[in-house]
Chains A and B, each alone.
Chain A
Amino acid sequence: MVSLKAEGFKNYKPYLYILPSLILIIIIYVYPLVLNVIQSFYRFSGGRGIFVGFDNYKYLILKDSLTRGAFLHNIQILLVIPILLVLSIFIAVLLSERIRFAKVYQALLYIPFIISIVVVGIVFSRLLRWDGIINFLLNKIGLGALIRDWLGDPKYALYSVMAVIIWRELAFGIVLFIAGIGNINQELYEASKIDGANWWQQLFHVTIPQLKSVISFYVIYNYMIVFAWIFTYVYVMTAGGPVNSTTILELQIFNFAFKKNMMGMASSLAILLFLMIFVFIYLQFRMRRVAMVESY
């Protein structure tokens, strides 16, 4: 009887902890999402909805070249993840060496993250202009051949946007990895030093393996950023142009909903985007559990 009671107690307690978050999520996320799923099966014209089944999805996946282009741009922007990972681990490792002014550098490097994305976009569209400071500096150091309209050239606009994303998101990575490195047991470094490991060997055989869980967190976080949070950068700096060379999935949703008045299509694309993120995170979570079970 006692054990039964204990069992029951054990079972409902966790749910009590997550209940407040679930209630809010159901009201503000799930209810609109359900409406959204329903909408995605309709086509709206003249205030009336016509049921079209999976036609919206079929159109988006098979026929719409603009959406496919936007998807490919998102995939291309995923390139920022390895770059961010390498840069932020590198700078965090340098900052964790016992050097002077480490706190000052850390504070300065964190500044980009506290500027709002809209301001970042406006400032960088000024700096990356034809007569902006980037081209001015390139000219000064004798790389005049590289001068171009960074955001106005379809070939380079997407790379410029990626550079700005890296500029801002790097700050968060650095702080995260400094915290991660701080949590590593110092004895591991002393032991490896006695074994004769040099700086690089310590980096690759002690620091990076110990940061595994932080790295996986950072990769998921950036995956979400790339698929769901870069709308503001693109909208402020290029608005998808020139010649749709920086259109991303989120911008495509925005265009369907508010420019072309195709709410059904926008809903379908939103659902597809949501599924892409959900499936990735779920698979990653399952894989990590398998890895944890195997390691014990």
Chain B
Amino acid sequence: MQGGSCCTRDGCTSMSRPNHQLGPLLDLARDRPQLPAQARNMSPIVPRGSIAGTALVAVVAIMTFLASITTGTVLLVGASAAEWQSEVASEITIQVRPLAGRDIDKDASAVAEAARTQSGIVDTRMFSREESARLLEPWLGSGLSLDELPVPRVIVARVQPGTAIDLEALHRRVMQTAPSASVDDHRAWIERMRSMTGATVIAGIGILALVIIATIISVSFATRGAMAANRPIVEVLHFVGAGDRYIANRFLRHFLRLGLEGGLIGGGLAMLVFGFSESIAGWFSGTPVGDQFAALLGTFSLRPSGYLALAVQAVLIAGITAWASRRTLLTTLNEID
């Protein structure tokens, strides 16, 4: 080693020692023959097996599954509600009630005609007596003669899409034609629908927030456990001059991989559930539960954009796993030093 050279002292780490200059210390090796070296840097600095990953993957998978089911359900409800709203908003219902001394059929025809000439109305359809009877069947039973009952006549007016109807003018025109007529643009019902959809979305966001918080807590505990188990490695890395960021990144790779594994499993399972949901819904069709769900969620089929949202969400949860892990890592490294 005497006479060995180094490029410069400051910041230089490369040694250039001719072998013949190592003579004085070769006696350390006299008792063993020197073999050709096969060694290489193959081992990860933080061994994969030193992090209890299975439990964390399971937790992240379950969390991602719950989050995906929540998001998918919110998307289904939102899509169905939007469909109902657009259907309902494109119609106006006019009722003509029976009034003593007036011919309800004549009034109904006159109202239908008056509504048709209103700007923005493209078509009107008057429900026949039989159709009105069918509407009342769930409450009054079948085989009932409506002649003796003061059943109003219903006229449905279809609104040209994208047109704002002057409801006041329509109401005035209809009242002039038949004083017992009333106009309903379903605004109250749409408002209720909007409230219900909003409540569903808020509940969904609440569940997602809880899932994310639970994920962060689980990951933080897992990270602390991993750091405790690998404390000797962290200390050695400090000894050889590794900064906290370098050490954190060595661990982070593991946690990002675990997060992605969990996200892939949970998100994939949720996608399969939605993929088979139409078949599952088919098994329950005809049952009261099945009918209620069909009424609420339509066909159960998630659009391609919904699947994309679930995939993005799974990646997001993997990212949150990595972020929570990094945060805990840096805090723990501060404590270790």
Q: Indicate, yes or no, whether A interacts with B.
A: no
B contact residues vs A (CB 8 Å cutoff): none
